[in-house]
Amino acid sequence: MVFYQNITHVVVYVVEMTGEGIGFGKAILFNEHFVVYGVPAIVSAIGQYTLARVNPSSSSDIILKDNRDATPSYKEDKSEQQKDSLNRILAKMGIDRNNAEIEIELGGNLYAASGIGASAASCVAIARALSQHYGLNLTDEEINDIAYEGEKGYHGTPSGIDNTASTYGGLIWFQKNDTNVMNKIRLSTPVEIVMGNTGKVANTTAAVAGVRERREKNPEKYQKIFDRAENIAYLAKRSLEEENFREIGKLMNENHKLLQQIEVSSRELDFLVNIARESGAYGAKLTGGGLGGNMLALTPGKDLQEEVANAIEKEGFKVLKTKIGVVREGII
C-alpha cells in the first residue's frame, strides 16, 4: 500500500508545522503469548498515553528526545531497538531521515516500562505526529499499520495486539490471523485497575522465543494449555459483555496459572499478584511479555483500587492506578 508517495512535495509547504500525536498505554487482560499462535486475546487501552511532538530542526538528521519518565535503565536498554523502530516507521512512511530536518520529542503521562505498551504507544504517537507535521491526514488503520512496522524493531515478530489497542483505544477482542480480527467490547463505564511494576526491564523477544522453543519440545503439553487459554478467552468475553467482574477476576487468576505453566512469569510478578489478591483484588495476573515488567489487578471502585495500590507500594514497588475501557475522547 503506497499512500505516502507525495511526501517530498508536502515537506516544502509544511516544514514549519508542529505535529502532535498520542498513543495509549495498554493492559492485556487475557492471553499474552498465546495470541502469537492465533489464540484470541483481550486487551484494553488504559488512561495513560505517550505524546509525540515533531518540530522543525536545523539538523539534516532526525533528532529524537525521549523525555518520558521510565523504569531505571529502560530507555538505555531499549535504545538500539528504539533506533531500529524509528527507522522502520520512517521507511514505511517514505520519509528520508537524512533530509527530514525534524526533531521528535516524546513525553506524556505513560511511564515507560515493560508490560504496559510503552513501545507501541511511542510508535503510534510518532506516526500520528509525523502525519500531522507532513499534512498526510492518515486514517487510524494506516497509523496502526505503521505502528506495527515500528513494533518490529522492539519485538521482532509482534502479534499486533499492542499497537491495535494503542491506536484505537477501548476494550478489544483480538485474534491474529492472515487478516487480524479486531472487535470492540463495550463497557458502560471504564473500570479501575492497578498495575504493579516489578522494576525489571523485560526482553519480550527472548520471552516469545523461549515459549516457541518449549512448545516445539512439548507439543502435547502445550496444546492442552493453549486449548484452555482459548476457552478462557471466550468465557472472559461473555463475562465482560455482562460486566460480571467477579467472574472476570477468577478467569484472570486462571490465565495467570497458564502463563506460569509456559514459564513467562517471574518471582517478582508472582509476589505482586499474590499481594493484590490478598488485598481484595477480584483477580490478578502478569500483563505483557512477562519475565518482569508489570502485573495487572482488577479493582472495580476507587476504594478497592486504593487499597490494593497501597499494599503493593508498601512492599516498595511502583504502581499505576488507571482504568480499562478508556477511549480517546476521554483523554484529549
Q: Which residues are known to be catalytic?
A: 162
Residue 149 CA to residue 169 CA, distance in Å, equals 19
Nearest alpha-carbon partner for 148 in 162, 128, 133, 132:
162
Residues 6+ apart with CB under 8 A from 16: 56
C-alpha cell at 90: 520512517
CA atoms within 13 A on the CB side of 37: 17
Strand partners, 136: none
Residue type, 246: R
Answer yes or no: are the C-beta atoms of 66 and 72 closer than 8 Å: no
Answer yes or no: are the C-beta atoms of 115 and 122 closer than 8 Å: no
DSSP per residue, 195-216? EEE-SPPP-HHHHHHHHHHHHH
Residue 262 CA to residue 229 CA, distance in Å, equals 11
Residues 6+ apart with CB under 8 A from 322: 25, 27, 46, 47, 48, 192, 193, 195
Q: At what angle do helices 161-168 and 118-133 cross, to 10 degrees?
A: 50
In Å, how far from its chain's centre is CA 76? 19
Residues 6+ apart with CB under 8 A from 63: 57, 102, 103, 104
